[in-house]
Structure 1
Amino acid sequence: MGYLSSLLTFIFIFADVVFYMTKDEPLVPALFIFGDSIVDVGNNNYIYASVKANFFPYGRDFVTRTPTGRMSNGKLSVDYASEYAGFSSYQPAYLSLNTKGDNLLNGANFASSASGYHFSIAALYHAVPLMQQLELYKDCQKELVKIAGKTNATSIISGAAYILVAGAGDFAENYYIYHSGMASRPCHFNLENLDLYALGARKIGVTMLPPIGCIPIIITLYGSGNNKCVEEINDVALNFNKKLNFTTENLVKMLSGLNLVFFDLYQPLYELVTKPSNYGFFEARKGCCASGLVEVGFTCNRKSIGTCANASEYVFWDSLHPTQATNKFLIDRLIPAIISLVYN
């Protein structure tokens, strides 16, 4: 009876989501995004960062058919999340806004490619670290008060959904440093990373680590030539994800009114990478751009030889980032978690 009741509740909530998606009003008043290259929609275009994607073939399948700074051939997962939440336009890269004003009423994106939980990762590539992204968000809050008034701004801030996507770069970098004979820098998820709560955020979604050992560049570097996922590295991701899950109850107990939801990227991406044909994909071992084995960023460019014609058949766009098709695949499987984030 309990299972049937839970199932019916989910069906009713899902139907409610579908209903609201057909209306003009989005499910939440705004969406604010923080993190790394998986969700950067162009912030690195406006800073002296060594990791950018503002050139072809990046963006070749995006709605505008132009490079925007997204590390993919088209839409990112947060673009699809924005659509599913009912927004008519994507949340802009905050650093791209010369005139902020009404552009912030639906939220903003503060993510920076090559950023991560550990500040040294961002410093290495001149990216915007997470703590600085939070400073930009503080500036955004001031702008919201100017254009919407304090009462409305407070309502937007407390009702908005916040998405944090980080960690994969930290662990990939740490693994590389470890195998280079240097001291490994630990990656921690702690209350410092939830300063968003102190700034009024109550609906916070955090992604778990993906199967890092299945990323093409990692297989190339550490796969011993066998074309299979490096399970030793995947185990590191799984261990981190378990610890992340373990912190959930304590954080919710400590922080009144917090709805903290973890998005499991590991399982759906692992299934897709290991059984791509089951989901209509052709290639999961290498990316679409160039050889797909090591190219990322500037090494994936207009002159890259061998770039595939149909990226929708590929799980990865370059040797590190997913294609538009994969981003949609992942978001489709995260809908229950998204519902839990916006409705609880």
Structure 2
Amino acid sequence: MGFLLSIYVGVVAIVMVASVARGDPLVPMLCVFGDSVVDVGNNNHLNTLIKSNFPPYGRDFVTHTPTGRFCNGKLATDFTAEYLGFDSYPPAYLSQDAKGKNLSIGANFASAGSGFYDRTAQAISLTQQLAYYKEYQNKVVSMVGKDSANTMFSGGIHLLSAGSSDFIQNYYINPMLQRTYTPDQFPGLKVVVFDIYQPLLDLITKPTDQGMKEE
């Protein structure tokens, strides 16, 4: 499987072998899915307590204001966008910035607290994030045409950070699960009982269905 897909689980590690000083970006777009590790503000638009749109969040960011990122500065995906040569960051899909030419460089669908299990938290589940992604694809097709859109999506990078919230907000706060399953057994339970990894499996095993290129 040669399409560009990076999976962030808990700790994010990115190794960049090149940076762009000038000219066009190395890839046409960057699309981000996942949880608080990569959420850039989608939770600001949800009815949830899991938000970071207040100080001291954002004090070291470019604007020195809270943006919805769960850190004081930039996220790993922000640095990734910079190293790839983008002049701006993919906007949070639910934000007012996610329109027009801003969508031409990609979009961020991540939601703090989300996980593979759709009921992990009051957040945008991975299933819904993929639904938004398909909606986003249609918007891009309307803007640039089908052929150009196919080129953009098949050549773009798709990043995913997910998994930790399923443990933190399910396993570790549910005594019954802890008595019945060890931490090593719990992921297997989720696959068998809830089938919550299917959206991720679809993203990996059926990239062409999601607009990505398989080589």
TM band (smaller chain): 0.7 to 0.9
Q: CA deviation at 1:154?
A: 0.7
SS at match of 2:24: coil
Task: Report the equivalent of 1:285.
Answer: none
Change (3 A) 1:58 1:99: closer
- Tell me if the contact between 2:126 and 2:199 (Cα under 8 Å) persists in the aligned partners: no
- The structure with the larger Rg is 1
Q: What is the correspondence of 1:294-309 to structure 2 with a 5 Å cutoff? A: none
Deviations for 1:269-297, whole angstroms, at most 9, x for unmatched residues? xxxxxxxxxxxxxxxxxxxxxxxxxxxxx
What SS does the aligned partner of 1:201 have? Answer: coil
Report the CA distance shift for 1:70/1:101 in structure 2 as closer, same or farther (over 3 A): same
- Counterpart Cα distance in 1 of 2:176 and 2:130: 33
Q: Is the 8 A contact 2:33 2:129 kept in 1?
A: yes
What RMSD over aligned residues (CA atoms) do the two structures have, in Å?
A: 2.0
Structure 2 counterpart of 1:134: 130
Equivalent in the alignment of 2:34: 35
TM-score norm. by structure 2 comes to 0.79
Identify which of 180, 200, 203 aligns with 1:193.
200
Once the 2 structures are TM-superposed, how far is the Cα of residue 175 of structure 1 from its aligned partner? 3.7
After TM superposition, the score normalised by the length of structure 1 is: 0.50
Kindly state the Cα deviation for residue 153 of structure 1 after the two structures are TM-superposed: 0.6
Q: How many residues align?
A: 184
Structure 2's unaligned 5+ residue stretches are 1-15
Q: Equivalent residue of 1:117, what SS?
A: coil
Give the C-alpha shift of residue 187 in structure 1. Answer: 4.1
Partner SS state of residue 119, structure 1 = coil
Which one-letter code corresponds to 1:172 in the other structure?
I
| Contact 2:98–2:107, Cα closer than 8 Å, also in 1 | no
State the SS of the aligned residue for 1:176.
helix
Aligned equivalent of 1:107: 106
Select the residue among 177, 181, 186 that pairs with 2:176. 181
What residue in structure 1 maps to residue 6 of structure 2?
A: none
* Post-superposition offset of 1:173: 2.9
Contact 1:170 1:187 in 2 (8 A): no
Distance 1:30 1:130 in 2: 20
Shift of 1:191: 4.7
* Counterpart in the other structure of 2:93: 94
CA distance in 2, matches of 1:172, 1:71: 16
Contact 1:44 1:52 in 2 (8 A): yes
1:159 and 2:146 aligned? no
User: Which amino acid in the other structure matches residue 151 of structure 1?
Assistant: D
1:93–1:108 Cα contact (<8 Å) kept: yes
Counterparts of 1:11-90 in structure 2, within 5 Å, are 14=17, 17-18=18-19, 21-90=20-89
Shift of 1:127: 0.6
Q: Which residues in structure 2 correspond to 1:203-222 (within 5 Å)?
A: none
Gaps of 5+ in 1: 1-12, 203-255, 258-344
CA shift for structure 1 position 170: 1.1
For 1:76, give the aligned amino acid. Answer: L
User: Which whole-Å CA distance do the structure 2 matches of 1:38 and 1:187 have between them?
Assistant: 22
Cα deviation digits, residues 221-256 of structure 1 (max 9, x gap): xxxxxxxxxxxxxxxxxxxxxxxxxxxxxxxxxxx5
CA deviations on 1:115-165 (whole Å, 9 max, x unpaired) are: 01111203xxx2100000011111100110111111101100100000010
Match of 2:4 in 1: none
Q: Is the 8 A contact 1:42 1:69 kept in 2?
A: yes
Task: Give the 5 Å matches for 1:139-154.
Answer: 139-154=135-150
Cα distance between partner residues in 2 of 1:98 and 1:26: 20
Q: Matched residues in 2 for 1:59 and 1:49: separation? A: 19
The 2-side partners of 1:74 and 1:29 are apart by 25
Which is richer in helix? 1
